[in-house]
Amino acid sequence: MSDDNIEFTSEEDDLFEHYRIVADKGQGLVRLDKYLNLHVANASRTKIQNGIEAEAVKVNGLPTKASYKVKPLDVITLSLPEPPRDTEIIPENIPLDIVYEDEVLLIVNKPTGMVVHPAYGNWTGTLINALVYHFQQLPTGRNGEGRPGLVHRIDKDTSGLLVIAKTEFAMSFLAKQFSDHTIERTYNALIWGEPKEEKGTITGNVGRSVRDRRVMDIFPDGSQGKHAVTHYELIKPLRYVSLIKCNLETGRTHQIRAHMKYIGHPIFNDTTYGGDKILRGISNGSYKAMVENCFSMLPGQTLHAKSLGFIHPTTRQWIQFDTELPENFQAIIEKWENYVNY
């Protein structure tokens, strides 16, 4: 097979790679699992078989069995966990807020300030360091290392729910739902100002800023970045700020944060996207003191992954989880309510 017939489209914000392979014109009949083992680098036979069973592998747009015989010009698409970094993960006895657990998955409520996985500048103290301490033999990246059990992530200073896979099959099954955008994710955010409409949809490609690679920009013309859609709904207007609910149709890096800045309503205390400045009201007196006090109460942006819903890998039933806002997030809302009312 020519390398020209294989496409790799790795999402920066989804922890798996997408492959599209077109079989050669002269391809002889061979089992699908064996074919993929030959053409997908570093993918174990078990991972391939789990991907097929989880319907994360499709031939000509349709899920099929491992025994399917690949034919000339068949178009094969699949999603697999991304290649991990060659980095040792040190188990650390860090407490976890586990909302739910069974034999194949667990739901964790991540606190603000915790990095999800080790990376430059944050090799310890992460959620992954805690997971490898509390759980053994979690599924990993394709080379047997990297990010055990992780199928998605949220920013360091965003709190809330994450699903962790405990088996290879669960990892493939959940990864497919994230890839297909069928996972239901709801966030609560405190934003500057009040949106003109109580409900709305923000559509605009999200991609790295050419000025600062740490920041995501919006490209409404689709010239750069990846397609992104955020639905929002006003929960509580507080004159200068508003509490909103956001539902993600896609899951791009910094999607909600970048989209809210794009429409002129940065998330309160978001240092990356300009929300850590007074953007509504006067910048002096008791008001300024109150806002600065609110800033000091939370180390990052007021954004919380509140609910998470998906099809369970084993029961194939829809399950839904919800969590309360962190105490300091609630305290900030109460301060704004008291200021506005009194």
201-204: long-range contacts, CB 8 A cutoff, minimum separation 24: 201/229, 201/230, 201/231, 201/232, 202/229, 202/230, 202/231, 202/232, 202/259, 202/260, 202/262, 202/263, 203/228, 203/229, 204/228, 204/259, 204/262
The single residue of 155, 157, 217, 270 carrying the catalytic annotation is 155
DSSP-derived pairing of the beta strands 303-311 and 318-322: antiparallel
Are 158 and 304 in contact, with CB atoms under 8 Å apart? yes
C-alpha–C-alpha distance, residues 259 and 9, integer Å:
23
- For residue 325, report the phi and psi dihedrals to the nearest 5 degrees: -65, 145
Give me the amino acid identity at 190.
Answer: L
Q: By C-alpha distance, which of 171, 145, 165, 7 is closest to 89?
A: 145
C-alpha–C-alpha distance, residues 114 and 125, integer Å:
7
Are 164 and 150 in contact, with CB atoms under 8 Å apart? yes
Could you tell me which residues come within 8 angstroms of residue 108 by beta carbon, excluding any fewer than 6 positions away? 96, 97, 98, 99, 127, 161, 162, 164
Which class for 30: exposed (0-12), middle (13-18), buried (19 or more C-beta within 10 A)? middle
C-alpha–C-alpha distance, residues 11 and 108, integer Å:
23
How many other C-beta atoms lie within 10 A of the C-beta of residue 318?
10
Say whether 14 is catalytic.
no
Q: By C-alpha distance, which of 152, 16, 163 is closest to 100?
A: 163
C-alpha–C-alpha distance, residues 329 and 112, integer Å:
10
End-to-end CA distance of the chain: 72
Are 141 and 103 in contact, with CB atoms under 8 Å apart? no
The set of catalytic residues is 155
